[in-house]
Amino acid sequence: QNWNFPVAANPNNGKSPLLDPFPVRADGSRFDVPTGNALGLMAKAGRGFGFTDFNQPHPRQQRWQLGLQRQVGKSWVVEAGYAGSYSDKISIGMKQDYLPEQYWASGTTRNDAIANNLNANVTNPFLLRNFASLQQTSPLIYQDISTNGFFTSPTIRKHQLLREFPQNNNGLTNNTVPVSYTRSDEFQLQVTKRFSQGFNLNAGYTAMNLREADFFYYEWDRTPTERPSNDGRPHRIVASSIFELPFGKGKRFLNSAGRLTNTAIGGWQLSATYEYQPGPLLDWGATTFYYGSDQANIANVSNRTYDTWFNTADFEGTAARGANSFHRRVFPTRIEGIRRDMTNQWNANVSKNIVITERAKMQLRLDALNLTNRSQMASPSTDTFSGNFGRVTAQTAATNRWIQVQARLTF
């Protein structure tokens, strides 16, 4: 680290900066005077920033649910239901310094003319010399903008001047515009076998349709676009079960076994859980060009492998022919049916309860998480210009098979 110590307070010269932390500078001053609120409305001029509108309304949600439950026999229960919800006035970030729609290219052909035109340098109307009078009337403001490259550069790119709020360089965002909403509809089915005769079972299935307006398709949009949400899955199956082996004292078989035999064959319990759900929908970049007649063909792969996760035909794969700057999105952010790897996992355990004395008991337990050692893979590349386009090259942080052994003594 290089420190810019003044000569009179340089440790290299044996002089501590603590003796004179604010030495006199060449202009006779010792430090820059803090501006405080003296900059007023000019405090953010030439700078990008995001802000929070504290007048935003609170989000609101309506929920409804209908369910039916039926007991079958002595220990089975079946329950079916529908649940729905609608939430609105959800805050979302909205770009304020957008470039209006008429300046953007469209179609699936690269347009260099528009990009070159909007990226061309033109005379900067915000150049510092245009505000020379500030040096006398508002010296603090003048001092501030004189250190900002936005005001000292003689040129500026054309697209910056065509944007809303061109004086706010590098972006202006309202972080809390209450225009987002979400709608969910789900069917729920649950089957329960209450614990009896050493066995119980809980199984559930959920079918969900979840959509939300959580992004702006184009930066000039003032209304968000609705799309399928990755906060839910169209299907989910979960199940868990416990089974006590029917051997030993108090059980169906070998009820009269001696102490030694009962210690060996009694007190065994098996349990398992299962979880299945599809992976999240893939997210696609704004520069994707697709020339096919039907986007549904992207999901048509006869033999899906990690090297060919989806159909990569009919995509533009050459960067020089891809979308240039200021080309509006022509491909959706998500496509139904094109998802990341699913969750499909079994967990199991075996336990043995041993009675040592009337008050002392021991449990031995073996747990196997992800019993089948299934790897859950990460998303394939959706970068059409990459050599890995359509390929899965990594796995998620999901745990591979994990074996653990426990012993617990209670007394």
Predicted pLDDT at 1: 45
Q: What is the pLDDT along the chain (411 residues), one digit of tens a residue?
A: 455 666 666 677 776 766 667 777 787 887 777 778 888 888 899 999 999 988 889 999 999 999 999 999 999 999 999 999 999 999 999 999 999 999 999 999 999 999 999 999 999 999 999 988 988 898 888 988 998 999 999 999 999 999 999 999 889 999 999 999 999 999 999 999 999 888 999 999 999 999 999 999 999 999 999 999 999 999 999 999 999 988 887 777 877 777 787 778 888 999 999 999 999 999 999 999 999 999 999 999 888 999 999 999 999 999 999 999 999 999 999 998 899 999 999 999 999 988 877 788 888 999 999 999 999 999 999 999 999 999 999 999 888 899 999 998 888
Per-residue pLDDT of 4-13, as tens digits, reads: 666 666 677 7
Predicted pLDDT at 4: 60
What's the chain look like in SS3?
CCCCCCHHHCHHHCCCCCCCCCCCCCCCCCCCCCCCCCCHHHCCCCCCEEECCCCCCCCEEEEEEEEEEEEECCCEEEEEEEEEEEEEEEEEEEECCCCCHHHCECCCCCCHHHHHHHHCEEECCCCHHHHCCHHHHCHHHHHHHCCCHHHHCCEEEHHHHHCCCCCCCCCEEEEEEEEEEEEEEEEEEEEEEEEECCEEEEEEEEEEEEEEEEECCCCCCCCCEEEECCCCCCEEEEEEEEEECCECCCCCECCCCCHHHHHHHCCEEEEEEEEEECCCECCCCCCCCECCCCHHHHHCCCCCCCCCCCCCCCECCCHHHCCCCCECCCCCCCCCCCECCCEEEEEEEEEEEEECCCCCEEEEEEEEECCCCCCCECCCECCCCCCCECCCCCECCCCCCEEEEEEEEEC
Predicted pLDDT at 106: 95
Predicted pLDDT at 255: 77
Q: What is the pTM of this model?
A: 0.81
